[in-house]
Amino acid sequence: MLEITVRTTHLDVMGHVNNAKYVEYLEWGRCDELEKRGIDLWQMLREGLGFVVVNLNVNFRREAFAGEILVIESGLKEIRNNKIGVLEQRIRRKSNDEVVCDAEVTFLVFDTKAHKSITMPENIRRMMLAEPT
């Protein structure tokens, strides 16, 4: 779970959080979730591995405004065939728990040297399945 405060630079001409910014918030939430599961994204990159989002389904439910505190929640839904991971994410207002956005994110582990997806390494799979700290 990651908390953020909406800044004026996150707003569009309508005065609420821009849809593209929600996608960025979701990314921040995913990175935070992976770190809490013990996954070091920079170490993975040094080893020639990375996570690649292959599908992102986002539902924009409510507007969010400058000064509001938003809570980004991320959790593993499933790992399919030891290769495809699916995360569920939700952004809600801290003040009243109202969901402003939710998403389902499909990802793969990518070999940056071979330029292809690979079977999820066992150590990463174990960390993905473990409860975050």
Of 12, 32, 40, 97, the catalytic one is 12
**Residues 88 and 35 sit within 8 Å (Cβ to Cβ):** no
Q: What is the distance, to the nearest Å, from the Cα of residue 63 to the centroid of all Cα atoms in its chain? A: 19
> CB-side exposure of 68: number of CA atoms within 13 Å?
23
Q: At 57, list the tokens.
A: 């389904």
40 is known as an active-site residue: no
Query: Which amino acid, residue 52?
Result: V
Buried-state track 63-91, b at ≥16 Cβ within 10 A, e below 16: ebeeebebbbebebeebeeeebbebebbb
Active-site positions? 12
